[in-house]
């Protein structure tokens, strides 16, 4: 497995959904996916990590205290780096990482930080760009490497799930969506796009994962002592006087 840590720092990082072509439509689909889970999540604190996460509408979530960790003052309630969260362990009930892993140097450490601040049985909701989609394959085109979203690194859903399992998360939900190249806001073939959403969803431009932090209690194992006699007669029930 290739290491997730990279010295490469993206030259362009998205600050808002409109930085992507078709970004508004993508954010709406992501909100629809996350809205399936917000009513099931309860607690006191929701942490939205990154500018894109902070811009998503999470009003359907029953958690009222929502912390927005972003770089823009108008969005942020806390300004910090995603890989160095300024919270103690087991502090929040849910963490949202919307297209955050692609634009960080060490995405695996970002997930570790989310795991650290989550309560036991807390929820992690994240989204990313599917590298085996048309949008992901366009990253190979030289003219697009300095244009969003192709300035970041794309990680497959299987690889992100491996990171989650390694840290003790249980993946509850996975979905691919948004069959678009994200080259233009215009949708010239709406009929084909609708057909692709139903039949080619594996090649959707984005994916959503919902996982839950599982903490297994340590149960001490009692040793089973087996006492054996140091003297074991060859024939039982025979005394020395019977042999005389």
Query: What is the percent of the chain with per-residue pLDDT over 70, rounded to a whole number?
Result: 75
Q: What is the pTM of this model?
A: 0.81
Is residue 65 in some structural domain? yes
Residue 81's alpha-carbon distances to 24, 70, 106, 165, in angstroms, are 25, 8, 11, 24
Residue 7, pLDDT score: 60
Which residue has better confidence, 11 or 78? 78
Spatial distance between the Cα atoms of 62 and 43, rounded to a whole number of angstroms: 8
Instruction: Tell me the mean pLDDT in the region 19-46.
Output: 94
Would you say 167 and 122 are in contact if contact means Cβ atoms under 8 Å apart?
no
Q: What is the CATH number of the domain that holds 74?
A: 3.40.50.150
Domain count, the chain: 1
Which residue has better confidence, 115 or 233? 115
pLDDT band at residue 21 using 50, 70 and 90 as cut-offs: confident
Residue 73, pLDDT score: 83
Is residue 183 in some structural domain? yes
Is residue 241 in some structural domain? no
Which residue has better confidence, 141 or 234? 141
Is residue 231 in some structural domain? no
Instruction: Tell me the mean pLDDT in the region 128-140.
Output: 87
**Residue 166 clears pLDDT 90, i.e. is over it:** yes
pLDDT band at residue 41 using 50, 70 and 90 as cut-offs: very high
Is residue 90 in some structural domain? yes
Is residue 171 in some structural domain? yes
**Residue 70 clears pLDDT 50, i.e. is over it:** yes
Which pairs count as long-range contacts for 159-165, CB under 8 Å and 24+ apart, including other chains? 159/1, 160/101, 160/111, 160/126, 160/128, 160/209, 161/209, 162/1, 163/4, 163/107, 163/108, 163/111, 164/111, 164/124, 164/209, 164/211
**Residue 112 clears pLDDT 70, i.e. is over it:** yes
**Residue 187 clears pLDDT 80, i.e. is over it:** no
pLDDT band at residue 131 using 50, 70 and 90 as cut-offs: very high
Instruction: Tell me the mean pLDDT in the region 103-121.
Output: 95
Containing structural domain, residue 118: 17-219
Is residue 1 in some structural domain? no
Is residue 227 in some structural domain? no
To the nearest whole number, what is the mean pLDDT of the chain? Answer: 84
Spatial distance between the Cα atoms of 65 and 142, rounded to a whole number of angstroms: 43
**Residue 28 clears pLDDT 70, i.e. is over it:** yes
How wide is the angle at C-alpha 96 spanned by C-alphas 37 and 173, nearest 5°?
Answer: 40
pLDDT band at residue 192 using 50, 70 and 90 as cut-offs: very low
**Residue 234 clears pLDDT 60, i.e. is over it:** no
Residue 208, pLDDT score: 97
Residue 141, pLDDT score: 84
Which residue has better confidence, 11 or 29? 29
């Amino acid at each position: 497995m290739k290491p997730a840590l990279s010295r490469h720092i993206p030259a362009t990082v998205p600050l808002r959904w409109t930085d992507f072509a078709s970004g508004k439509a993508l954010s709406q689909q992501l909100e629809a996916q996350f809205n399936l889970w917000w009513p099931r999540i309860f607690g006191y604190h929701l942490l939205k990590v990154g500018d894109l996460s902070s811009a998503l509408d999470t009003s359907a979530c029953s958690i009222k205290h929502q912390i927005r960790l972003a770089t823009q003052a108008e969005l942020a309630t806390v300004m910090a780096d995603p890989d160095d969260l300024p919270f103690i362990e087991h502090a929040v009930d849910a963490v949202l990482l919307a297209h955050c892993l692609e634009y960080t140097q060490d995405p695996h450490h970002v997930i570790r930080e989310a795991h650290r601040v989550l309560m036991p049985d807390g929820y992690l909701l994240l989204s990313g760009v599917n590298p085996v989609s048309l949008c992901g394959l366009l990253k190979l085109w030289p003219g697009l490497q300095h244009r969003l979203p192709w300035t970041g690194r794309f990680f497959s859903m299987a690889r992100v799930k491996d990171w989650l399992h390694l840290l003790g998360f249980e993946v509850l939900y996975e979905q691919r969506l948004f069959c678009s190249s994200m080259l233009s806001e215009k949708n010239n073939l709406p009929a084909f796009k609708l057909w692709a959403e139903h039949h080619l969803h594996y090649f959707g431009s984005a994916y959503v994962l919902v996982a839950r932090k599982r903490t297994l209690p340590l149960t001490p194992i009692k040793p089973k002592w087996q006492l054996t006699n140091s003297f074991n007669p060859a024939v039982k029930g025979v005394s020395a006087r019977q042999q005389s």
